[in-house]
Amino acid sequence: MLVRLIVGLGNPGPKYAGTRHNAGFWFVERVAERLGVDLRAERKFHGAIGRYRDAGLDLHLLCPDTYMNHSGRAVAALARFHRIPPEAILVAHDEIDLPAGVVRLKRGGGHGGHNGLRDIIPALGSRDFARLRIGVGHPGSSDQVIAYVLHAPGRSELTAIDSAIDAAAAQAPALAAGDWDRAQQQLHTRE
């Protein structure tokens, strides 16, 4: 299936801009930059949106401004308005269970403890959307996770994350064209 909507998860505002939790925002911003798309605030969709149309592709981009725990409101509003089924949505998010610099594509599944995904599932009424899991590493102890994701990565981690995001953003046209297997092969074998 074609990807018609790419959502980047994060928290709005300068306080969170450089934190690990905003890796999804970083990805969508990189895709927008590569495709020459401006992201503009749109109140009715609760976030910054952009749209890319070229050579038969029609791809929406979204960075919700609702904070992570309420991401579903923005995703559902845009998906309903443009009649985009869950199977045509890719949600990019930070993933503590992957090392910094590793990215993985996944179709469907649960929330895995991620509050953004936890909110999107009931808002869409489905778990069938795809995920781009952007590795940010793990703090080593579960009681440190919240503080860890709400802080900026170190220089070497940031370099690794940035490289992974760049590689993933290069695959956005393939995903929008429905070439999931090629995009997955490129990303899963890049290490």
Q: Measure the CA–CA gap between 99 and 170, rounded to whole angstroms.
A: 20
Residue 128's CB: how many other CB atoms inside 10 A? 16
Q: Measured between alpha carbons, how far is 86 from 75 in angstroms, rounded to an integer?
A: 10
- Choice among 21, 46, 60, 93 that is catalytic: 21
CB atoms near residue 88 (< 10 Å)? 21
Per CATH, the architecture of 5-188 is what? 3-Layer(aba) Sandwich (3.40)
Q: pLDDT tens digits for 80-99?
A: 999 999 999 999 999 999 99
* Structural element, H or E, at residue 95: strand 89-95
Could you report the per-residue pLDDT of 98-144, keeping only the tens digit for each? 999 999 999 999 888 889 999 999 999 999 999 999 999 999 898 99
Establish whether 148 is an annotated binding residue: no
What pTM value is reported for the model? 0.95
Measuring CA to CA, which residue among 157, 166, 139 is closest to residue 26?
A: 166
Mean pLDDT of 165-183: 94
52 is in an annotated binding site: no
93 counts as catalytic: no
